[in-house]
Structure formats: structure tokens, C-alpha cells
């Protein structure tokens, strides 16, 4: 930044700022998929979003998603000074533990204000468009609104990454046995440009039967029908899942660090 330019951090609440931040992040929807999603309903309802403004231009966005037990901090910015200012602001709004998903080169941004408790490596994969595959006639159903309780009963013992508000973000597909869901695939967020898959889980008793692949196949076909890029994060060492995603037309675009942090007092 030039010495005469002053960076301001503003909370995003007005319709005008929301539109400006969406436009800024949509220039690179793949890299900015998480903060971009937090600017769309229903995630915006449970997020605090801040933007960095320099000479009347948006130059960065930070979102704190608060639907989970630990808030999640994600960034959308290019310049290192802007990233640092947004991280400082976000951690100032957090009381204790939080998580962040970021490129490995951004990990050091958090070390001045927090302590890393745990971390693991993931990778982002995208498909544009996905590849539809033959799943052998497995019966996959779109989860209906009146089945939200049934979906929650399936997810809640199996993952911490599920909250019912995500069902409002976009479609979920499932396979049932004896009236109960045994496999499901859905989304964390959906925007006009990109959708982020999540909560792709199969009950242990029904794994290795191709039903998770069938659920995901139906889901990505639906999401891609409007021309969206399809994105997902997967643990870098989860070779079985990565193999399935490659069959569906996904390819790796970047590494991601998943961090669990504690705010320094």
C-alpha cells in the first residue's frame, strides 16, 4: 500500500457492501469458495463478515462462520498486509478456540494472535463439469424437506460438520435401507458460481458397496445443471475418497491446511 492510503476494516451489513464483496470474491470463486459462500443465505445469517476497504475499493474479505461449536475463520484476499489486518480483526472477535481452512502459506498469519492446537492437510478438488458415471442402478433419493429430522438422525452421531441450516443451502441426496438413511451427500454452501460439497458419509455397515459414489454422482449432476463449478475439500491421505472423486471428474487444484487454534490471551 502507498503511505497515503489508509486501510479500513468494515463489518459487512448493508446490501451494497454485500454485493461489492460478492463481486470481489467471485473474481476467483475457487480460491474464495468459503468466504463467498458465507455471503449467501443461509450461511450469512450465522456469519460475521468483514471487508477491507482501500481508496473506496474492496481489497479483502474475512468471514467468521458461527454455526459450529467452534467458529470458522476464512479469508479472501491477495495482499499480505490485507490478510494480516483481516486475521487480526477476526481473532479479536473470537473468545476461545476456532478453526481455519487456509492455504499452507497463510498459516503463519495466525501465529501472532493464536496457538495452533492441531492441524492436518487437505486438498481442494474441483469439477467443471463433473463426469456422470454408471452406479449400477442404486436407488438414490433427493432428501425432502419433511425428512430433515431423518437426515439429522443419520449425521449427528457421525460428524461434527453438520448443522441443519446447511440443508437450506442446497440439495442433499441419500440412499435408504428399511426406511433409514445409510448414506448421504450434500453441500456446505451454494452460490451462483460455485458449490462446495460436504457431509458425504456412509454408515460403516454399508461401505464399499458404491452407494456413497451413487449419492455424490446424483448430487454433482444436480448442482452442475446450472453451470456451477463443483468444489470439495478432502483429507490428503484419504485415497479411497480421492479415487472416487477422480472418477467423477474432480482434480486437485491446491493444498489446504485445516487448523484448530486457541486465541492467545
The SS3 assignment for 78 reads coil
Q: Mark out the alpha helices in the chain (DSSP H runs).
A: 15-25, 33-37, 80-92, 148-155, 211-224, 239-247
CB-CB contact of 59 with 7 (8 Å): yes
Which residue matches cell numbers 489446504? 256
CATH of domain 126-257: 3.40.630.30
Does the pLDDT value for residue 219 go beyond 70?
A: yes
Characterize the bridge pairing of strands 141-142 and 114-127. unpaired
User: In the predicted model, is pLDDT for residue 231 greater than 90?
Assistant: yes
pLDDT at 99: 98
Instruction: Provide the 3-class DSSP secondary structure of residue 20.
Output: helix
Q: Given pLDDT bands bounded at 50, 70 and 90, which one contains residue 5?
A: low
- Distance, in Å, from the CA atom of 17 to the CA atom of 143, rounded to the nearest integer, reads 34
Query: Nearest Cα to 58, choosing from 26, 32, 27, 20?
Result: 20
Q: Which long-range contacts (CB under 8 A, 24 or more apart) does 65-71 make?
A: 65/34, 65/38, 67/43, 67/163, 67/165, 67/166, 68/99, 68/160, 68/161, 68/163, 69/160, 70/97, 70/98, 70/99, 70/260, 71/98, 71/99
Residue 247 has pLDDT above 50, yes or no: yes
**Start-end of CATH 3.40.630.30 domains in the chain:** 7-98, 126-257
Distance CA 67, CA 142 (A): 24
Beta strands 114-127; 97-102: pairing state: unpaired
Q: Which CATH superfamily is domain 7-98 in?
A: Gcn5-related N-acetyltransferase (GNAT) (3.40.630.30)
pLDDT, tens digit, 9 for 90 and up, residues 20-70: 999 999 999 999 999 999 999 999 999 999 999 999 999 999 999 999 999
Mean pLDDT across the chain, nearest whole number?
95
- Please indicate, yes or no, whether the overall pTM of this predicted structure exceeds 0.85: yes
**Mean of the pLDDT values across residues 189-206?**
96
Amino acid at each position: 500500500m502507498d503511505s497515503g492510503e489508509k486501510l479500513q476494516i468494515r463489518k459487512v451489513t448493508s446490501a451494497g457492501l454485500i454485493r461489492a464483496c460478492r463481486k470481489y470474491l467471485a473474481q476467483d470463486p475457487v480460491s474464495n469458495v468459503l468466504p463467498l459462500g458465507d455471503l449467501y443465505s443461509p450461511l450469512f445469517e450465522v456469519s460475521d463478515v468483514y471487508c477491507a476497504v482501500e481508496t473506496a475499493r474492496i481489497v479483502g474479505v474475512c468471514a467468521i462462520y458461527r454455526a459450529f461449536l467452534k467458529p470458522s475463520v476464512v479469508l479472501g484476499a491477495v495482499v499480505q498486509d490485507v490478510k494480516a489486518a483481516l486475521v487480526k480483526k477476526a481473532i479479536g472477535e473470537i473468545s476461545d478456540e476456532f478453526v481455519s481452512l487456509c492455504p499452507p502459506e497463510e498459516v503463519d498469519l495466525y501465529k501472532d494472535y493464536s496457538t495452533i492446537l492441531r492441524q492436518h492437510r487437505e486438498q481442494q478438488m474441483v469439477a467443471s463439469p463433473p463426469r456422470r458415471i454408471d452406479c449400477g442402478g442404486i436407488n438414490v433419493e433427493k432428501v425432502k424437506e419433511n425428512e430433515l429430522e431423518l437426515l439429522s438422525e443419520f449425521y449427528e452421531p457421525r460428524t461434527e460438520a453438520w448443522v441443519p441450516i446447511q440443508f437450506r443451502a442446497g440439495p442433499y441426496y441419500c440412499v435408504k435401507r428399511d426406511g433409514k438413511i445409510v448414506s448421504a451427500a450434500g453441500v456446505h454452501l451454494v452460490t451462483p458460481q460455485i458449490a462446495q460439497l460436504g457431509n458425504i458419509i456412509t454408515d460403516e455397515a454399508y461401505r464399499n458397496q458404491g452407494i456413497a459414489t451413487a449419492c455424490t454422482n446424483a448430487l454433482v449432476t444436480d448442482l452442475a445443471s446450472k453451470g456451477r463449478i463443483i468444489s470439495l475439500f478432502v483429507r490428503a491421505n484419504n485415497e479411497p475418497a480421492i479415487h472416487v472423486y477422480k472418477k467423477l471428474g474432480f482434480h486437485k487444484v491446491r493444498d489446504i491446511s485445516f487448523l484448530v487454534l486457541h486465541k492467545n490471551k
